[in-house]
Amino acid sequence: MHRIGVLGGTGEIGSRILNLLKGEYSLMASYHSQFRPSAAGCEYVKLDIADTEQLQHFCRQCDVLINCAGASFLNGEKVARMAAEWQVPYIDPSGEAFLEERLADRKDKAVFVLSAGYFPGMSGLLMRHVCQSFDTPETISGLSVSEEIPSMSAIEDFILTNLSGFGTALSYYEQGAVVRDEGERRERIRGREFRFQNYLTVETARVAQHYGLQEAHWYHSSFGDRVIRKLQEAVIQYKLGRAGYKSIVREVIEIFRQTMAGREHFSYTRIEGQGLLGKERTLTRAEVSSPCSSEISAIIAAYAAKAVLAKPLPAGIHYAMDIIDMEEILKDPAELKAEIRISKVVLEQEVDDEYEEGEL
């Protein structure tokens, strides 16, 4: 039986990944301070990710390694290189473009799967699924709202990945060009009004280029002025090389805790695309929602591991949206703590301008 290793197996995402994979694979999970006794099918191991010898011993016992141990920006490269040394496919719920750049010298020697989380990850998979629903995809538009209290590592990853090129703010994709748009849109979701602005993510641009789309938008919801100011402070502290940015991150978590008091917690993503299906101009909508974004991240990471074990990948840097079959996820809704809905509407039918001779 294949063994899947999960670093950070007692965390928000790691524990959910283990729950999705239990019974199908032999599992090994690491913990740092939250002791967890081993159980049937899952061995828990105390591990300090900074200890190279411990990390090496863990990696070489796995057929696939999923890294959920803290912010990927801080430890992803180290763990990925260790996995590569032992030829163990590496899966990262984050990663994105910054890790691709850091691993460029190893991409021909090992398997790396990046963006295997909620955003990027599920967002890209839904975009790809929508584009593939057309004979000729034309446009795509996506947005995401997360109403929950984020973890320390989630905020750190958000800050640090933005520093390395998460996307282009106040911009969208049009005919291969990046177009500036400082406008704002408002939309009510679950009874609350949210403000959105264009933020062309690396993932959205990649999908648009791959499918030759005419236009592509990703709309980013605003955190609110107070949180944004704190995040900007944290970025400055980090650039100055000061550990003080961590205390600012804790302040941000406290702001979210105060803001979310008494509110329903949920994460919601919607992708809408238009294109031609035969002669019909069609709109396809894909939606995913869950009480917790970590549930959605766990789904993508778990199914990425399944995909890697089902069909070994060639050495290189891969993205989760390119290796996961969305139909496999859609077949297992009862097992998932997330709701995924796909709908399709015909907007208009193309008129055939060719007429037979003598026809008026």
Domain ranges of the chain: 3-116+297-335, 122-292+341-346
Residue tagged 């990710």 (tokens): 49
- Cβ(122)–Cβ(146) below 8 Å: no
pLDDT at 71: 82
Give the residues across from 4 on adjacent strands.
Answer: 27, 64
Largest CA distance in the chain: 83
pLDDT at 164: 64
Nearest 10 degrees: CA dihedral of 45, 51, 52, 56?
Answer: 0
- Nearest one of 100, 101, 123 to 113, comparing CA atoms: 100
* Cα 281 to Cα 274: distance, rounded to the nearest angstrom: 7
List all residues 6 or more positions away from 61 whose beta carbon is below 8 Å from its beta carbon.
3, 5, 28
Half-sphere exposure for 213 (CA within 13 Å, toward CB)? 29
- Statement: residue 52 has pLDDT above 90: yes
- Cβ(285)–Cβ(272) below 8 Å: yes
- Nearest one of 209, 21, 13 to 122, comparing CA atoms: 13
* Cα 161 to Cα 205: distance, rounded to the nearest angstrom: 17
- Phi, psi dihedrals of residue 43, rounded to the nearest 5°: -100, 125
pLDDT at 355: 41
Give the residues across from 141 on adjacent strands.
Answer: 217, 272
pLDDT at 356: 44
- Statement: residue 83 has pLDDT above 80: yes
Q: Across the chain, what does the average pLDDT equal?
A: 92
Least trusted range by pLDDT, from 40-44, 120-124, 234-238:
234-238
pLDDT at 245: 86
Half-sphere exposure for 220 (CA within 13 Å, toward CB)? 21
Domain 3-116+297-335: which topology? Rossmann fold (3.40.50)
- Statement: residue 163 has pLDDT above 70: no
Determine the average pLDDT of the residues in 230-247.
Answer: 86
* 322-339: pLDDT as tens digits: 999 999 999 987 778 999
* Cα 79 to Cα 278: distance, rounded to the nearest angstrom: 47
Does domain 122-292+341-346 fall under CATH 3.10.20? My reply is no
- Statement: residue 302 has pLDDT above 60: yes
Determine the average pLDDT of the residues in 289-303.
Answer: 96
Topology agreement, domain 3-116+297-335 and domain 122-292+341-346 = no
**Whole-prediction pTM value?**
0.93
